[in-house]
Amino acid sequence: MPVARPEPQEPRVIAHVDMDCFYVQVEQRRNPALRGQPTAVVQYNDWKGGGLIAVSYEARGFGVKRSMRGDEAKRVCPGINLVQVPVARGKADLNLYRSAGSEVVAILASKGKCERASIDEVYLDLTDAAKEMLLQAPPDSPEEILIEAAKSNILGLPSDASEKEKIVRAWLCRPDADSEDKLLACGAIIVAQLRVRVLEETQFTCSAGIAHNKMLAKLVSGMHKPAQQTVVPSSSVQDFLASLPVKKMKQLGGKLGSSLQDDLGVETIGDLLSFTEEKLQEQYGVNTGTWLWKIARGISGEEVEDRLLPKSHGCGKTFPGPKALKNSASVKGWLDQLCEELSERIQSDLNQNKRIAQTLTLHARVSKENERDSVKKFPSKSCPLRYGTWKIQEDAMKLFESGLHDFLEYQNTGWSITSLSVTASKIFDIPSGTSSILRYVKGPSSASSPAIPDSSSVPEDPSLDNNVYVTPSNEEQCEPSTSEKEDGKKYSAISAKQCSANEAKRISKKFPEVKGTSSILKFLSRGQSALHEKRKSDGLICSHPGLESSLEASRAEEHNASAQGADRSSTNCGAEPSGSNAWMFNVEDIDPAVVEELPPEIRREIQGWIRPPKQPNTKRRGSTISSYFPPARS
Ligand code: DCP
């Protein structure tokens, strides 16, 4: 459920940048003959010409839509060029598009805090850059405004086409504007400059929204596409929201939006204004009620997060119609492939960015034989992530079996799977100086993790599968994920500062049997406090999930992914629980089989932790990996 965030005191300048028909542009750069031509990118599939996933604006002019199959697109637009997504392991290989997205991010990040929200979307906090421009070189001469900025669409200004550019130039330079609008004008100029740079350096066009918060910037970035930008002055917010259908807001695309329509008769965001905060809270709970009350007024305190890397990695595949999987052997075959890719990607993330993923989640879309319309969903399942391809494969299969067991509810019936995906999430940066634990996680390679690829065999740019794509026409899907903090060094510096004395004391209590100075202990102390602090700041401290709570978290995540869109990930826990319940890096999560393969000194050290003196109050049920896979009930 969406939650209202505290409002910042000072006005901010936030941009949301979204690439135009992104995969098509990437393919057009690879093959310039496609430029200006009706073109679409198609998922690998031989059924009716494959599913369209990106459509050029030229093709859209002919009526081609993303929901079409290739054959239909050809009927509508006989001259269309259909380009197949690259394929690896029998599924779409998106690395080409991910690295193209990274090129853009590198440019956009030069001007302020940058949050990579999906494979082709970025939020920027340009407040400081705008303030600096206002101080150093405020726009004061309409003729000197960059043409790309002069082409901005500014909500609330007369849209008379012949005069538009002149009016925009004048608006950007108004000497009598209030400070908020002046900052926004600077933001618009900066975004225009960035978009020009992106075009020059990557050959890609993008569109953008510029506003005082993320929500408004996102809502307008797609309003004028392709290759345009839209600005939302504060004075235009109410008019804009008055006519904005509730379903246009990502968080209201699902059940919450339907409930607003059905239960409260709310059709537009502006309609929400007729309800008091108390009434909305009564209906939807305190947090969501306040959030609804605020968005009706264009208020959103959500911050741009400083992260250029994904917050999770996901690999998925759909099996439409006759391709549905109906037995465990075929599920295992596909899960193995998905897990192999996932393993490569988290290993690459570890090697390149020194980041560790902690949670493995399996999602599936399953129906029971003869019960296709059943509303019961296959439960998503999570467990601690163990590095090494075969371990991930093994755990994913167990998660599947456990989910299937719950889903079937003791019925002896056939089933059919139309989509499968695995996600690695709860990724954190490893503080510097942790070589021993790094070796542990990487595994004494060949022995513990036979399938872990050598770093040279994995893609340069760790991926970003960020959009939640659930159109049944797609054969492959990216799992929702968002970006994560990029710079390990920077983070560890901050962590060191953040690591309070109390925290250190608490950690040493947690591992009382470990005598003080070894490298891994240092790592854990630093890692734990850094992680703790980071989670605290991210609002991510939560109970250590046993199977049940882990399930709930997955459901909450799933709900959030669909309700809030792929640009945020969240958990079902906002408050920090007391001491021993906090989910920290846990020695109990360490696989004893791996420990056996460690160098003797590290092995001794870890074994000491794994067999701690009895601490009944700190040991929780469901905190070891095996408890995530209870024996199947007969
Ligand atoms: N994508 C996908 N499956 C989907 C939707 C999109 O694989 N069901 C991929 C292809 C898109 C890219 O993600 O190019 C970005 O998706 P967007 O929704 O941002 O759409 P586009 O960038 O293609 O077009 P637009 O210009 O409308 O943003």
**CATH number of the domain bearing residue 57:** 3.40.1170.60
Over residues 236-282, the pLDDT tens digits come to: 999 999 999 999 998 998 899 999 999 999 999 999 999 999 999 99
Distance CA 11, CA 122 (A): 20
Does the beta carbon of 22 sit less than 6 angstroms from any atom of ligand 1?
Answer: yes
Distance CA 291, CA 298 (A): 10
Instruction: Tell me if 434 is assigned to some domain.
Output: no
Exposure pattern of 271-296 as b/e (b: 16+ CB <10 Å)? bbeebeeeebbeebeeebbbbbbbbb
Does the beta carbon of 23 sit less than 6 angstroms from any atom of ligand 1?
Answer: yes
Question: And the tokens for 564?
Answer: 């809030």
Q: Which atom of ligand 1 is nearest to the CA of 19?
A: 22
Higher pLDDT, 505 or 594: 594
The answer to whether residue 34 scores a pLDDT higher than 90 is yes
Q: Domain range holding 129?
A: 1-20+90-305
Arithmetic mean of pLDDT, 588-608: 53
The answer to whether residue 329 scores a pLDDT higher than 90 is yes
Distance CA 440, CA 114 (A): 32
pLDDT of residue 498: 36
- Pick from 42, 97, 120 the residue to mutate for probing ligand 1's pocket: most ligand atoms within 8 Å of its CB: 120
Distance CA 17, CA 384 (A): 34
Does the beta carbon of 54 sit less than 6 angstroms from any atom of ligand 1?
Answer: yes
pLDDT of residue 376: 78
- Count of C-beta atoms within a 10 Å radius of residue 220: 23
Does the beta carbon of 467 sit less than 6 angstroms from any atom of ligand 1?
Answer: yes
Same domain flag for 179 and 204: yes
Over residues 350-393, the pLDDT tens digits come to: 988 889 999 999 999 998 887 766 667 899 999 999 999 999 99
Same domain flag for 614 and 500: yes
Collapsing DSSP to helix, strand or coil, 469 comes out as coil
Instruction: Tell me if 633 is assigned to some domain.
Output: no
Q: Which atom of ligand 1 is nearest to the CA of 94?
A: 7
Distance CA 162, CA 160 (A): 6
Arithmetic mean of pLDDT, 299-303: 93
Output the residue whose Cα is nearest ligand 1's atom 5: 53
Output the residue whose Cα is nearest ligand 1's atom 4: 53
Same domain flag for 395 and 450: no
Arithmetic mean of pLDDT, 68-79: 96
Q: How far is CA 247 from CA 120, 355, 448, 602, in A?
A: 22, 36, 49, 54
Distance CA 229, CA 345 (A): 34
Does the beta carbon of 537 sit less than 6 angstroms from any atom of ligand 1?
Answer: no
- Pick from 16, 20, 21 the residue to mutate for probing ligand 1's pocket: most ligand atoms within 8 Å of its CB: 21
Exposure pattern of 418-428 as b/e (b: 16+ CB <10 Å)? bbbbbbbbbbb
Collapsing DSSP to helix, strand or coil, 462 comes out as coil
Distance CA 243, CA 237 (A): 11
Q: Which of 370, 349, 555, 352 is nearest to 465 (CA)?
A: 349
Within 312-426, where are the H helices? 328-353, 389-408
The alpha carbon of residue 546 and the mean position of all alpha carbons in its chain are separated, in whole angstroms, by 24
Length of the chain measured in residues:
634
Return all residues near 211 (Cβ < 8 A) that are at least 6 apart.
14, 184, 217, 220, 231, 232
Same domain flag for 120 and 10: yes
Spacing, Cα 53 to ligand 1 middle (Å) = 6
Of the chain, the percentage scoring pLDDT greater than 70 comes to: 67
Largest CA distance in the chain: 80
Does the beta carbon of 94 sit less than 6 angstroms from any atom of ligand 1?
Answer: no
The answer to whether residue 439 scores a pLDDT higher than 70 is no
* Contact indicator for 489, 310 with CB cutoff of 8 Å: no
pLDDT of residue 6: 74
Confidence of residue 55 (pLDDT cuts 50, 70, 90): very high
Over residues 188-232, the pLDDT tens digits come to: 999 999 999 999 999 999 999 999 999 999 999 999 999 999 999
Return all residues near 113 (Cβ < 8 A) that are at least 6 apart.
124, 125, 304, 305, 306
Report the mean per-residue pLDDT for the chain.
Answer: 75
The answer to whether residue 630 scores a pLDDT higher than 50 is no
The answer to whether residue 599 scores a pLDDT higher than 90 is no
Pairing of strands 52-55, 39-42: antiparallel
Instruction: Tell me if 459 is assigned to some domain.
Output: yes
pLDDT of residue 1: 73
Same domain flag for 403 and 519: no
Instruction: Tell me if 634 is assigned to some domain.
Output: no
pLDDT of residue 141: 94
Output the residue whose Cα is nearest ligand 1's atom 26: 20
pLDDT of residue 386: 95
Same domain flag for 69 and 132: no
Collapsing DSSP to helix, strand or coil, 421 comes out as strand
**Boundary-marking domain end, from 89, 108, 137:** 89
Instruction: Tell me if 541 is assigned to some domain.
Output: yes
pLDDT of residue 33: 97
Look up tokens 């710079």; give the residue: 487
The number of domains in the chain is 4
Pairing of strands 313-318, 206-211: unpaired
Confidence of residue 593 (pLDDT cuts 50, 70, 90): low
Question: And the tokens for 575?
Answer: 């408050």
Confidence of residue 579 (pLDDT cuts 50, 70, 90): very low
Distance CA 463, CA 87 (A): 15
Arithmetic mean of pLDDT, 47-59: 92
Side-chain half-sphere of 339: how many Cα atoms within 13 Å?
27
Spacing, Cα 314 to ligand 1 middle (Å) = 17
Burial, 112: exposed, middle or buried (Cβ in 10 Å; 0-12, 13-18, 19+)? buried
- Pick from 28, 34, 52, 53 the residue to mutate for probing ligand 1's pocket: most ligand atoms within 8 Å of its CB: 53
Spacing, Cα 35 to ligand 1 middle (Å) = 18
Lowest-pLDDT range of 117-121, 318-322, 487-491, 535-539:
487-491
Same domain flag for 63 and 125: no
Q: Is 180 a catalytic residue?
A: no
Distance CA 68, CA 459 (A): 31
Output the residue whose Cα is nearest ligand 1's atom 23: 21
| CATH number of the structural domain spanning residue 266 | 3.30.70.270
Same domain flag for 163 and 203: yes
pLDDT of residue 526: 40
Side-chain half-sphere of 456: how many Cα atoms within 13 Å?
0
Same domain flag for 526 and 379: no
Q: How far is CA 15 from CA 3, 212, 322, 455, 473, in A?
A: 21, 8, 44, 35, 31
Q: How far is CA 353 from CA 28, 198, 265, 279, 491, in A?
A: 30, 24, 48, 47, 11
Q: Which of 47, 23, 67, 48 is nearest to 473 (CA)?
A: 67
Same domain flag for 529 and 606: yes
Confidence of residue 607 (pLDDT cuts 50, 70, 90): low
Same domain flag for 184 and 103: yes
Q: How far is CA 61 from CA 212, 293, 390, in A?
A: 33, 39, 48
Spacing, Cα 61 to ligand 1 middle (Å) = 17
**Boundary-marking domain end, from 39, 59, 89:** 89
Arithmetic mean of pLDDT, 420-448: 67
Exposure pattern of 447-486 as b/e (b: 16+ CB <10 Å)? ebbebbbeeeebbebbbbbbbbbeeebbbbbbbbbbbbbb
| CATH number of the structural domain spanning residue 345 | 3.30.1490.100
The answer to whether residue 622 scores a pLDDT higher than 70 is no
Does the beta carbon of 474 sit less than 6 angstroms from any atom of ligand 1?
Answer: yes
Which value, in Å, is the radius of gyration of the alpha carbons in the chain? Answer: 25
Instruction: Tell me if 334 is assigned to some domain.
Output: yes
Does the beta carbon of 97 sit less than 6 angstroms from any atom of ligand 1?
Answer: no
Q: Choose the catalytic residue: 27, 121, 557, 605.
A: 121
Same domain flag for 619 and 542: yes
Question: And the tokens for 532?
Answer: 């703790």
Confidence of residue 432 (pLDDT cuts 50, 70, 90): low
Does the beta carbon of 241 sit less than 6 angstroms from any atom of ligand 1?
Answer: no
Q: Which atom of ligand 1 is nearest to the CA of 92?
A: 7
Does the beta carbon of 423 sit less than 6 angstroms from any atom of ligand 1?
Answer: no
Q: Which atom of ligand 1 is nearest to the CA of 121?
A: 19
Lowest-pLDDT range of 123-127, 147-151, 295-299, 441-445:
441-445
Instruction: Tell me if 435 is assigned to some domain.
Output: no
Q: Which of 316, 317, 308 is nearest to 121 (CA)?
A: 308
Output the residue whose Cα is nearest ligand 1's atom 28: 20
Does the beta carbon of 58 sit less than 6 angstroms from any atom of ligand 1?
Answer: no
Lowest-pLDDT range of 108-112, 174-178, 397-401, 546-550:
546-550
pLDDT of residue 523: 33
pTM of the model: 0.68
Instruction: Tell me if 436 is assigned to some domain.
Output: no
The answer to whether residue 153 scores a pLDDT higher than 90 is yes
Output the residue whose Cα is nearest ligand 1's atom 22: 21
Q: How far is CA 287 from CA 248, 281, 555, in A?
A: 21, 7, 18
